[in-house]
């Protein structure tokens, strides 16, 4: 990715499908397993103290969008608690290195958020280690494409998708709200799938639509407390989740059907989260930012 100040053609600003591997990698997928690794903003994101002194909890923080958000938050002045699956420790260590390189604290918090107590412990760890919580980013998600659509979704898969994407969202947010002060921000990762569901991702798309309604409803409830609630809706973004959960042929064409003709990179998502976490978005609540390469929601 080029520097942030030079005008660029968005079609070619980032690599296109030639920078994607058609090979599958085992779930949950590690960054180093990818032939073409995502851009998280390592060499491009420049902070401006927009989150100075903030204390953030980010789920799914080991790689992909979560890593890009953690990096950006740190370079904007925030300390970060990193939530991730224990088997993603290798990726989480790299994310922590980037946060610490920016001069901020990175607290490791491995655990499976399908368990309610793990979700409660995440918030308690954040409050204990950082002294409070100002920003919650509900980003962790699970998907597994099924070419047979509904008929291919087992109860086991449905349970995993809903517990990771929705149950944990409720549990973590419920635990965090009592610790949040006016000016705090809750940001959840929805998806273009909330409005344009793919038949192969029916269970995943259902949860992403639920996240949007959760955002809109909770924003009305928490407005009187001065807590803002918003969402980011990514389109096709190149992360380890893609080659770990999709058919190799679809991976090869991932993002090619967008108006910009390519998949997005995690680095292109991070500024949306920074905006929603900062005072610059002080009158934005119950809404979402779509980062979809031109695909309408």
Q: Which residues form the catalytic set?
A: 204
83 three-state secondary structure: strand
Taking Cα atoms as reference points, which of 241, 41, 29, 273 lies closest to residue 138?
Answer: 273
Q: Tell me the C-alpha distance between 68 and 60, whole Å.
A: 11
Helix axis angle for 64-75 and 270-277, nearest 10°, is 50
| Omega before residue 28 within 30° of 0, cis | yes
Task: Tell me how far apart the alpha carbons of residues 101 and 109 are, in angstroms, rounded to a whole number.
Answer: 19
Kindly list the distances between the CA atom of residue 269 and the CA atoms of 62, 68, 220, in Å, as whole numbers in the listed order.
Answer: 15, 8, 25
SS3 118: helix
Largest CA distance in the chain: 49
Give the integer Cα–Cα distance in Å for 237 and 266: 7
CA nearest to 266, candidates 241, 297, 294? 241
Tell me which residue of 226, 216, 214 sits closest to 279, measured CA to CA: 226
């Amino acid at each position: 990715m080029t520097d942030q100040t030079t005008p660029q053609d968005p079609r070619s600003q980032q690599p296109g499908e030639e920078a994607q591997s058609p090979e599958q990698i085992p779930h949950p997928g590690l960054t180093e397993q990818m032939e073409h690794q995502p851009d998280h903003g390592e060499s491009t994101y420049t902070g401006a103290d927009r989150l100075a002194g903030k204390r953030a909890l980010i789920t799914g923080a080991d790689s992909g969008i979560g890593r890009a958000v953690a990096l950006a938050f740190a370079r904007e002045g925030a300390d970060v608690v990193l939530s991730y699956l224990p088997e993603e420790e290798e990726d989480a260590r790299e994310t922590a290195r980037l946060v610490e390189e920016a001069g901020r604290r990175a607290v490791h918090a491995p655990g499976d958020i399908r368990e309610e107590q793990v979700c409660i412990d995440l918030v308690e760890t954040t409050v204990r280690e950082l002294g409070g919580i100002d920003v919650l980013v509900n980003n962790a998600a699970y998907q597994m494409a099924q070419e047979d659509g509904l008929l291919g979704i087992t109860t086991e898969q449905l349970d995993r998708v809903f517990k990771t994407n929705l149950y944990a969202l409720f549990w973590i947010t419920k635990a965090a709200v009592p610790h949040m002060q006016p000016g705090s921000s809750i940001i959840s990762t929805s998806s273009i799938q909330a409005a344009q569901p793919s038949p192969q991702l029916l269970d995943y798309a259902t949860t992403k639509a639920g996240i949007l309604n959760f955002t809109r409803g909770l924003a009305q409830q928490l407005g009187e407390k001065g807590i803002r609630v918003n969402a980011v809706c990514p389109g096709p973004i190149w992360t380890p989740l893609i080659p770990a959960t999709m058919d190799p042929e679809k991976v090869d064409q991932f993002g090619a059907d967008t108006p910009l003709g390519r998949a997005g990179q995690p680095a292109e998502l991070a500024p949306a989260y920074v905006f929603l976490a900062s005072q610059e978005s002080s009158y934005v609540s119950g809404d979402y930012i779509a980062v979809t390469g031109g695909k309408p929601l």
